[in-house]
Chain A
Amino acid sequence: MITETATTGASLAGAPVRRGPQPALRGRPLGARRQRRLLAWVFVAPLLVVNLLVVTGPGLASVYYSFTDWNGLGTPHFVGLSNYGEMLGSDAVGSALVHNVLWTLFFLVVPMTMGLVGAFLLSRLRRRQTFFRVLYFVPYVLATVVSAAVWRQLLDPDGGVGAALSTLGLPFLEGLGEVNFLGNPSLALGSVAFVNTWQWWGFLLVIFLASMQSVDPALYEAVRLDGAGPVREFWHITLPMIRPTLVFLGLMTIIWSFLVFDYVYVLTQGGPAGSTDVLSTVLYREAFQNQRHGYASAIAMLLSVISALTVLGYLALRRRLRWDV
């Protein structure tokens, strides 16, 4: 099909004027322009319609509902800022926010480091790069519910990795057999983050790798002539050169960390005793279990404001430091 197009195009380009009669050709631009404008709206209509119906419309409705006592069914009554007042004074929202912040810090450090180090080592291989890249990326294409099924077994206090390690006979590992990673309030949040990391870090690695592959090899040659080892190459060449990608993924990590829902909901539902509750699970519970749609909309506003502020902060930082990202 492509070759057919190519040959038609070539023969046409050779003799464009010979065909259509002159007056028709002169008359066409205006008609064609109008036709193109009409077609443009027809072509963009599907995107516009589904977006207004699903994203923009309900999104704006959320802004309104956040000022009401709506329960999802009856008529919403305007209640001013009382949802926001309640939200700011709520212990559940406060501790969820703390969990989101901890989650963000964890994801800015652990998966980022794994992705960076893995990508750097991989970028120095000349063979087997694709092989490793595919292996590391496999968890990312799996569904949350699949990786939850995997890790609930591995973290099981009776039959999981902890139990297996405790039978090795090493004294410092013996206690692991009784650890209930997902059921212990002080460990649950870290365990959920750990499971999410398993699925997530390969995505970071693949993007870092693509970014590192576009770095000019001559830069590495230059520092090698100065006698630099891999560690200095990483700090002085790789990190500065991939900074745009690093900053962008850091930004996305922050946004996604405040929106995290799936892993918490599937693995712990926010429990035990609210120890893994994040803003999204609190929102979900208020909306669909307690039928407090107005209050849940206020939490949605908080989430959106956090996302928006993160993006604005990024843009301001970019402008101030004059990054040409």
Chain B
Amino acid sequence: MSTLDQPTRARRHPQPVTWVILGVLALYAVGPLLVLAGNSLKSAREIDSNPLGFPQAWSWSNFAEAWERAHMGGALLNSAVIATATALGVAVIATTAAYAMTRLELPGGGAWILWLLVSSSLPIQLFLVPLVSWWSTLGLYNQPIGLIIIYWAVYSPFATLLVRAFLVGLPREYEEAARLDGAGELGVFARIVLPMIRPAVLTAALVAGLQSYNEFMLAVTFIQDRDLQPVALSLYSFQQGFTTDWSLVSAAGLIMALPVVVLFLTMQRRFIDGYVSRGIAV
């Protein structure tokens, strides 16, 4: 037995080549971000002579200048409003819809799931063109609320599937007991079910909020005014300028990335679980 055991255990220790490959992949993933961080601290002169290396003199003033010139303050505020409204709206839409599909007497059964699957995999390009003129007619074009409604529609099918999967696995005993006690349907939903499905709702809201913060195609199509632009658009126009100052672009890019990276690092397990279910659940 021990003769069999030994080689098995020996092989479970990763070989050096494993560490080398994993290290190279880690460098590939994070290295470019380190260059971005380094460049954000260089002066425009230094970036010409030393584009990839460690910054010599740290010019923190880049951040103030980028903040000013790329209109980051207003743009971040716009993005915060859009991401928060998207997260909250998607959470409400997905939770109520998933509850109706799993717990209430909603006619249709499996057809709803098929419809969710189809609409979550329809290309945005399919409805983009008519949507622009519909939104102009409705006065929603070039309005943050118009963009937020689109995000609600685009991100809620997946979120509904996610919350639904969680609800399906949840035992119904507590709900039955509360009903026998005379609790109304709304009471059962709000006081019994909602606290129990909070993790799934939070994951769905986080993923939707992050996606709306990063989203580009719909934002660039539906928001024209600079004052209404989310940060993705202001960073885009800032790097399109024809005398591009890479140290300022790097600083602006870092300002945009920082909230997301911090949020991700603090709640990485919830994020990754949400995305994993996106890759497998459908």
Contacts and interface: CB of A to CB of B under 8 A. Distances in A.
The 8 closest A-B pairs by CB, nearest first: A159-B51, A54-B153, A40-B104, A143-B214, A207-B279, A58-B127, A43-B100, A12-B177
Given A40-B100, A44-B106, A154 B35 contact: yes
Interface size class of B (residues with CB under 8 A): 35 or more
B126 A304 contact: yes
Interface string A110-154: 000010011001101110001011111111111111111111111
Contacts of A280: 125
A157 to B, nearest CB: 11
18 contacts: A9-B173, A36-B105, A40-B105, A44-B101, A54-B149, A54-B154, A55-B154, A58-B130, A62-B127, A125-B14, A125-B18, A130-B268, A139-B29, A143-B235, A145-B235, A145-B239, A152-B244, A207-B280
B174 A9 contact: yes
B123 A307 contact: yes
Given A5-B196, A140-B275, 15 more contacts: A9-B178, A53-B134, A61-B130, A136-B26, A141-B264, A143-B256, A149-B235, A153-B39, A159-B51, A287-B128, A287-B129, A288-B221, A293-B129, A297-B129, A300-B126
B105 A245 contact: no
A261 B217 contact: yes
A245 B261 CA distance: 27
B32 interface: yes
Contacts of A311: 121
B62 interface: no
Given A5-B174, A36-B104, A39-B185, A146 B235 contact: yes
B201 to A, nearest CB: 14
B260 A142 contact: yes
Contacts of A93: none
A210 B130 CA distance: 39
A41 interface: yes
B165 to A, nearest CB: 15
Interface in B24-60: 25-26, 28-30, 32-33, 35-36, 39, 47-48, 51-52
A2 B195 contact: yes
B153 A307 contact: no
A96 interface: no
A142 B257 contact: yes
Contact of B279 (A62, A118, A130, A248): A248
Given A46-B97, A150-B33, A203-B279, A303 B126 contact: yes
A13 B244 CA distance: 68
Nearest to A66: B129
A50 interface: yes
Contact of B36 (A1, A145, A149, A252): A149
A202 B182 contact: no
A234 interface: no
A118 B25 CA distance: 8
